[in-house]
Amino acid sequence: MLTIKVLGSGCPNCQKVEANTRQALGQLEPEGDFEIVKVTDAVSISEYVLKTPGLVINEKVVSEGRIPDASEIKTWLTDALAEVE
């Protein structure tokens, strides 16, 4: 199972990271389960990153302080899926 966390206050940048993540998932169509969790609490966010937006896949920080595009996220998701199998 993939656990994907979008870290941020819910600002437009955070929403774009989530949208790009959903786009990447749509392209991959992973067979296993996945969950997208929005983390908006400042204390919880600070456990992972110092700057938002952030993206965490299976407890590994893959992006901080920028908006990765869907193709980049797709690569990270593919790597995470390979580790799960």
User: 24-75, pLDDT tens digit by residue?
Assistant: 999 998 777 889 999 999 999 999 999 999 999 999 999 999 999 999 999 9
Helix and strand numbers (H, E) in the chain are 3, 4
pTM (two decimals)? 0.94
Q: Are 68 and 38 in contact (CB under 8 A)?
A: no
| pLDDT at 1 (0 to 100) | 85
CA pair distance 60, 80, nearest whole angstrom:
9
Q: Which fold has domain 2-84?
A: Glutaredoxin (3.40.30)
Sort strands 2-7 and 54-57 into parallel, antiparallel or unpaired.
Answer: antiparallel
pLDDT at 12 > cutoff 90: yes
pLDDT at 16 > cutoff 90: yes
Active site residues: 11, 14
| pLDDT at 44 (0 to 100) | 97
